[in-house]
Structure 1
């Protein structure tokens, strides 16, 4: 049938669709709306190709949020020039340091230790003292040393404590000079030059700094100890409490023990240091007026919270070979207030001033300094 053959030819041609060549005769346009809406044979057979969807324009990219620049970090102060602790001319006037005891006294003591049983007791005591000084700490201990007046041996006591802790302990030890106007701690510890001070470091130290970063601004001392000077020796140098607190809080996590040589009472920084420290040392000369003024201060401290007087130790420094008071009786009177009391015996090496050399100290002085350091450290451990 011709009509059937023509219908099959149309279907086959539509099935080949796009693969076959286009027809040479274009289809006639529809003559009426009804004709336009009538489906073609290909549509009826379901073989008409679906045209590809029209591509929509890509959406415009969302602008990135505006980055707010971080505030600029404060500029660190420029490095100050180094300054010698002692002028070259003045250093030439110092005589050769002498030992704390004369030769005859040292020989007599050595003979007594050989012929008596005191040597064994002394060794046992030193062992107990060393064990007390080597106890671990969870947080850095801060020990403040002050006095009622100048010339009481405050800086000498601070230097003795710092060197004792550095000798017996494995963790770093810091000595801080918080007496910028009249302090002599760098001289006592043998520092040759000074650069960065406590006030300088208050603007520099940051939480992310390592111990190596921090010690780069300090004066290195023997046996794992460092010094932070209060000034470069300028007359009238000042240290405000804000700078002191900022430095001490920041440095506490780097050092196991920090010894602070404070101004004399009632200076403001000294009061802040005493209240913030875990133990306090009050240096006093073994004289009638020195003991009297120290006793008055201890009576005043009795009116403060109990831990203040319980964590305080008085050091009576014997300035001459024959003091003008009964030192034992004076020490007992001071103990009646609740404070601990230690007597630092007369030592020619300490009395001469200058650089403290522990190998030149008299044996009683070394033992007394070790006992003092152990008791103060134990007191600091009681207050967390």
Structure 2
């Protein structure tokens, strides 16, 4: 409800009564009464959803000292939401239908036709395939063993002789399988003329004659090596040609034109015959040749020169997994071989010395005048093992070496050297 008041009269005479145009007198106060409908305020739903009803807010009064601060604390209630656990349904496995008829071949002859049609399940391997007969053991090796085997028409097989078993065991050691790259073997010495190239050739032939993979002998002697003269030459190419053509060598057939192959399947890569050119074969050149050899060979034998401080020797020793130190049978030859071990130990190759094998070449002069057992005892205290290489007329000429023409005792020594070297090579290597 609203009320409005208004005073009448002339402003010039305050005491005169107000009047209308028709001369009627008006009262001094007039009151109007208006009744307004009371409509309550209803908040919209979006405002009601965010309204804070339970917290009272005190209005802020600005004073001369500045506005006052009122802290409002809002309390949030945490509502834990528990996820519903999935209900695992057990798989329904339908039962197999019961067969109306049981199929069997019991009581039927082979090849007999069933009176009722057979299902495909009756075609089993036991029915169709005849089990292989157990094969007989191969004929034994050895005179008496073979004689007894033939006399009994193969019914009695006592196995190989002791010599045959030892030979096969040695073949198994030489033919050990390698994984993870080429194994490098360095043949070193500080003295010339002790048969280092001959030992390198014998070692390579003994390995290549047994192993099923490829074996190569690399002549890395910067002083005009003669390794290629120990086998029948089939090419005039040298290590220099490999360095030059390395970027274009993509397959073994291309590399094969640069090497000579022996009857034992030993591949030989020659050095340059010109001393001035061979001297230029340095560390970088050897690394190029070794990288190419790693693509095609499992074992690489490096015939090193006498210059142990030459850069080629440094690259050879860095790649070597094992070394063979060649010693003659004289006092100075044995002493220089021992000094070679000392130099290797002093220059960070002590692990190669511990794994080294010494080849004692007894074909050199003075062998009959010294005590070879004392030389062997000395090296046994420093290296892993030692092998004595006997004198052989086929090796004394210093020319071609035909593995089949060697004396049996010489071949046995070469095979023993190869087995010892392979024993020291890692079977697996991480690339």
TM score, norm. by length of structure 2: 0.57
Question: For residues 35-114 of structure 1, what are the structure 2 equivalents within 5 Å?
Answer: none
Q: Which residue of 283, 286, 297 corresponds with 1:241? A: 283
Q: Which whole-Å CA distance do the structure 1 matches of 2:162 and 2:342 have between them? A: 36
Number of equivalences: 265
Cα 1:279–1:317 shift into 2, 3 Å: same
Q: Does 1:307 align with 2:307?
A: no
Which secondary structure state, in structure 1, belongs to the residue aligned with residue 258 of structure 2?
Answer: coil
Which structure: greater helix fraction?
Answer: 1
Q: Which residue of 332, 336, 343 corresponds with 2:381? A: 336
Instruction: Work out whether residues 299 and 337 of structure 1, in 8 Å CA contact, stay in contact via their aligned partners in 2.
Output: no
Match of 1:161 in 2: 203
Residue segments in structure 1 that go unaligned for 5+ positions in a row: 1-118
Once the two structures are TM-superposed, the CA of residue 323 in structure 1 deviates from its matched residue by 1.9
Instruction: Encode CA deviations 1:179-202: one digit per residue, 9 max, x unaligned.
Output: 1433111111222x5422112211
Q: Which residue of 226, 234, 246 corresponds with 1:205? A: 246
Which secondary structure state, in structure 2, belongs to the residue aligned with residue 216 of structure 1?
Answer: helix
Q: Does 1:317 align with 2:361?
A: yes
Instruction: Work out whether residues 144 and 279 of structure 1, in 8 Å CA contact, stay in contact via their aligned partners in 2.
Output: yes
Instruction: Encode CA deviations 1:52-100: one digit per residue, 9 max, x unaligned.
Output: xxxxxxxxxxxxxxxxxxxxxxxxxxxxxxxxxxxxxxxxxxxxxxxxx
Which secondary structure state, in structure 1, belongs to the residue aligned with residue 188 of structure 2?
Answer: strand
Residue segments in structure 2 that go unaligned for 5+ positions in a row: 1-159
- Bigger drift between 204-213 and 307-316 goes to 204-213
Q: Does 1:182 align with 2:224?
A: yes
Compare relative contact order (CA 8 Å, sep 6+) and give the higher one, 1 or 2: 1
Q: Does 1:359 align with 2:404?
A: yes
Q: Which whole-Å CA distance do the structure 1 matches of 2:338 and 2:260 have between them? A: 36
Q: Which whole-Å CA distance do the structure 2 matches of 1:325 and 1:382 have between them? A: 38
Stretches of 4+ moved more than 6 A in 1?
A: none
Q: Which whole-Å CA distance do the structure 1 matches of 2:336 and 2:290 have between them? A: 29
Structure with max Cα Rg:
2
Match of 2:182 in 1: 140
Q: Which whole-Å CA distance do the structure 2 matches of 1:224 and 1:346 have between them? A: 24
